[in-house]
A and B are shown apart, each in its own frame.
Chain A
Amino acid sequence: MDPCKLTISQLRTAYKAGELTPKDAVQSLAAAIEAKDGDLGGYLSHDLDSALAEAETADPSLPLGGVPIAIKDLINVKGQPCSCASKILAGKYTSPYDATVITRLREAGAIPFGRTNMDEFAMGSSNENSGIQPAKNPWDPTRIPGGSSGGSALVVAADTAIAALGSDTGGSIRQPASHCGCVGLKPTYGRVSRYGLVAFASSLDQIGPITKTVKDSALLLRAIAGHDRFDSTSVNQEVPNYLSGLTGDVKGLKIGLPKEYFAEGLDAGVRQAVEKAIAQLEAAGAETVEISLPHTEYALAVYYIIAPAEASANLARFDGVRYGHRAENPTDLLDHYRRSREEGFGDEVKRRIILGTYVLSSGYHDAYYVQAQKVRTRIREDFTEAFKKVDVIASPVCPTPAFKIGDRSDDPLQMYLADIYTLAANLSGVCGISVPCGLVNTEGTPLPVGLQLLGKAFGEGDILRAAHAYEQAVNWRDLIY
């Protein structure tokens, strides 16, 4: 039995049956990483010794006892590097503390193992903005794995991880999960503590699981979710047992289909796969109804004002004064700041810092930032209205399957469109899941695509139940479009 190929629940069963030990799992993963990851670039680093030491004392009776979890390289794990795939931190920063999700994972018995590749500071949709190394899609290494949690998705897809944590600011969990054929869940804003997650856009960021199955997603979410007094934006609301809601039954579930999400620009194969998946849910007893999210067309613009604005402040701390990259022989303080940041940050990060600084500047602040906040409220209201009528909203995750590495790197706007279906969930704070719904033949290569199910605030139970029912009803790897 190769532990790398197992899901969390299968691994736990194997532990309980005495067929495997946590040490076996860690060692097998290390071997798999050695064998496969050099080409795929999913991991930035991993600490085998500390993982083995933790495996030694792991308690398999705990909910995630002895399960290694790969961690996106912007979540702090004490004693491990946390580079955010940026030259400004790589090799120059070791985290002195555990993020709350890491504390919770440890309490549940899990072993944080490996730091996964990503777009630098989570800014990107293809992982091409990693400041450290390229990341490739296991289904076709000439293609992007998606982003920004590209590493987390690809290591799960490539069986070099059992499961992983990612972060989603505009689609950064769901979109790479869709491109790699994994399950990716973005929780409701406030469901999971952000303490210890290096902030990109604080009002949009959420940590979530990337897994092989919906059941694993439920397991992992339950472990990390819940109120945290160290994060004022985390919400004090009980965490349901998501697992017990996975009944396979969707009878009476009302699914909204936003007409704006099935308009032009959507790849024919992706449309087919998604529509087929919805039909499958209907066949299982769900009702579908067309809905409208009228402010959808503004979401991208609003997102690219609010996210860079927050990022421009969040990334100001990387200045080479206390940690991270520091320019050599600065002539004065300003020169120190300028060159440390110029040398440390990549182009996309710089682009967004400049954009964010601009939209907050005196004279532009009201026209951009304030206006964007108003439109954000409208977008949020769209979802509030919609969820009065339906339980979940179904849509594609991404307009196209994974594109070729380098195809869009010269056109930021084209790149930004990759998140067109996902970012409204971050702007409105609702939860969303991407569940694989088939393969789309793209230039001769079958590439996975995902079905996105959005749920109301704290409606993770609804989307997990629907995604699980769908997953159980089909074998998505056999559905080729």
Chain B
Amino acid sequence: MTKTRYLVSIGLEVHVQLKTESKMFCACPVQFGEPPNSLTCPVCLGLPGSLPVLNRGAIEKTIQAGMMLGCETPPLVKWDRKNYFYPDMPKNYQISQFDLPLCLGGGVPLYELAYPKDAQKDIAHPGKVVTLTRIHLEEDVAKSTHHESFSTIDFNRAGTPLMEIVSEPEIETPEEAVAYLNSLRQILVYGGLSDADMEKGQMRCDVNVSVRPDGQTELGSKIELKNLNSVSGVRRALAYEIERQIEAVENGEKLIQSTRRWDDDLGETFLMRTKEEAHDYRYFPDPDLLPVQTEDMVAKMRSTVPELPHEKRARFVEAYGVSDYDASVLASEQALADYYEKAANGAKDTKKVANWVINNLLSALNDASLTIQDCPVAPEKLRDLINLVESGQVNNNQAKEVFTLLFESPDKSPAAIAKERGFEPADDSEVEGFCDQVIADNPDKVAEIQAGNDKLINWLTGQVMKASKGKANPKAVGDILKAKIGG
């Protein structure tokens, strides 16, 4: 009997806190780490008689997110009440969007580096784009803390604008789910819309997953997973759940639509509720809020949409001649991409600049526990240093030393540091003298070169470099030798 192959369908619902000045429906500031319940008012506490007023900035940011993800914003949107009792929710209904959300369609392109490191070598669908169903804008709930015999609630978070980004069930592996989350996060951070840090709760996700035997077109029973608090947790939970579901099906068990809770410590999922026990949210349009015409906001946001990560990657390959991989690394972060572009501007070799940024600069930053935003070396200075190499002023090893010193004394210029260190190119006539000497000392090698063994030029160059104590520019030396030996 041949083993049945199973198809896996994963959909994600990602909640993202928007970086706005004030909350979704009141003027309270959106801030973290303030004393509990200090950032509250009658509105976000849901006090009797209070009324919500829409935060236009949050709507605009959601429209922008939609634009960056290729979504359409309908001309008319509205907000609805989603009814259920929960101590974190002061009104016992959440103002959300039911049938007229802010964004429809669109997709998240998965890029190579967004996959887990161990999965990057073996990507099943390179260039895959996961289709989005919708994005809607709602209010976040408060935060409960459970103590032994009582619970406390901090309403500072209540009412923070929250985007819910819903994907189609097109993700096929836990690794793709990871790539989806990382790719999505990158875009949101690019747009300055959210810091989208899962560990900080700025990005939260529920996943639904189903399995079905290969050949079956109808999706299997949708099982939702809750309590996923990190990207790696999502991967672990999905891997576990897929295996569990396949095993269940193999054992002849019928899976039913349900919600399960992931326990990251135990590495298992547990049944929370079945479809029959699911909430009936009784959505209806919130009579406190009028429907919103989006046309003006869409027009306004169109001009502010930044270049997308995948657009930037393509442009870097095109404009700077860097490899796909280098472009991916450089475009992974807006600040890094900006740094590179500044350094590449006026550089003799933009590919070399990419190498320097990725290899030397990033590792130096890493060693110093700095981010690119705090990089002491100005991009223009890095460019000047690389140009010194290109023009033969310093060689590669010297340049590395200059770079280390530059990192420590960023106010100095690379040329000045090179000069202090005595990294001066050897005098032309002096280099010529060394060349003549080396040619004279090695008549056999010269003869071989003349016979067509070009590679020996490098050996001769090495001899000249030695003679010049490394001061000569190897490229220039090679040229002189070639000219003297004759080709």
Contact = CB atoms under 8 A, between A and B. Distances in A.
Contact of B83 (A82, A196, A203, A316): A316
Contact of A321 (B52, B87, B288): B87
Contacts of B52: 232
B282 A232 contact: no
B81 A313 contact: yes
Contacts of B283: 360
A99 B287 contact: no
Interface stretch (B12-20, B88-96, B476-484): B88-96
A317 B48 contact: yes
Contact of A309 (B48, B51, B284): B284
Contacts of B91: 313, 316-317
B42 A97 contact: yes
Interface string A322-334: 1100000000010
A333 B282 CA distance: 21
Contact of B49 (A199, A233, A310, A323): A199
B41 to A, nearest CB: 8
Contacts of A82: 48-49
Given A317-B90, A362-B282, A196 B289 contact: no
B95 to A, nearest CB: 10
Contacts, number: 96
Interface in A183-218: 194-199, 201-203
Contact of B46 (A230, A231, A312, A317): A317
Nearest to A199: B49
B51 A316 contact: no
Contacts of B288: 199, 202, 231-233
Given A232-B288, A232-B289, A316-B85, A196 B49 contact: yes
A interface residue count range (under 10 / 10 to 19 / 20 to 34 / 35 or more): 35 or more
Contacts of B87: 321, 333
B284 A96 contact: no
A362 B282 CA distance: 7
Contact of B45 (A75, A322, A362): A322
Determine the main DSSP class of A at the interface with B: loop
A408 interface: no
B48 A360 contact: no
A369 B87 CA distance: 27
A365 interface: yes
A96 B49 contact: no
Contacts of A317: 46, 48, 90-92
Nearest to A309: B284
A319 B93 CA distance: 12
B28 to A, nearest CB: 13
Contacts of B363: none
B92 A310 contact: no
B90 A322 contact: yes
Given A322-B45, A333-B87, A229 B282 contact: no
A203 B288 CA distance: 7
Nearest to B41: A97
A100 B347 CA distance: 63
Given A316-B85, A319-B85, A361-B280, A232 B93 contact: no
Contact of B53 (A232, A333, A357): A232
7 nearest CB pairs, A to B: A316-B92, A203-B287, A360-B282, A202-B287, A198-B48, A196-B49, A198-B49
23 contacts: A74-B48, A74-B49, A195-B50, A195-B51, A196-B49, A196-B50, A199-B48, A201-B287, A231-B288, A232-B51, A232-B53, A232-B288, A233-B290, A309-B284, A310-B287, A316-B85, A316-B91, A317-B46, A319-B85, A333-B87, A357-B282, A362-B280, A365-B284
Given A232-B289, A360-B83, 16 more contacts: A74-B49, A76-B48, A96-B42, A97-B47, A195-B49, A198-B49, A202-B288, A229-B53, A231-B51, A312-B282, A317-B92, A318-B48, A321-B153, A322-B45, A322-B46, A362-B282
